[in-house]
Amino acid sequence: MPSSPFCAPLIAEARAWCVACAPAEGVGVIVRTPVGLRVHPLRNVSADPRSGFEVDPLEWARVEDQAVVFFHSHPNGAAGLSARDRAALPRSIEHWVFAERLSRHRFVGGQWIEFTGKTK
């Protein structure tokens, strides 16, 4: 099995959305479509978008079934999941955090793990 189904252009597109959102946190999902994986940006509707994010529940409901990765950014550069992320993020899906580096996370065996997957 390949270490990752995700190719570099997909990661670059997700990162570009997050960069465009700065200094607010950027947020979005990678969705599975009939023509392949696509980046789907989401709006950050948090009242304080520089230090966190919230997604409109209706907007999330429209993409939830197709989402294979949820991503967001930490414009302050702090890599990895924050305590708030660990408490709030949906555990059934892979998460990417764009910060000083990209980190990737899954909830496995009752805890969040960070994994490294080669991207091609």
Instruction: Note the residues at the interface with Zn ion (CB under 5 A).
Output: 82, 85
Which of 66/103 has CB closer to Zn ion? 103
Closest distance of CB 79 from Zn ion, Å: 10
Residue nearest to Zn ion (CB): 85
Residue 100 DSSP symbol: S
Closest distance of CB 74 from Zn ion, Å: 5
Which of 68/78 has CB closer to Zn ion? 78
Radius of gyration of the chain from Cα atoms? 13
Closest distance of CB 82 from Zn ion, Å: 5
* Residue for token pair 């990737």: 104
Which of 15/32 has CB closer to Zn ion? 15
82 by Cβ neighbours in 10 Å (0-12 / 13-18 / 19+) ranks as: middle
Q: Judge contact between 39 and 30, C-beta under 8 A.
A: yes
Which of 46/82 has CB closer to Zn ion? 82
Whose CA is closest to 80, among 88, 72, 69?
72
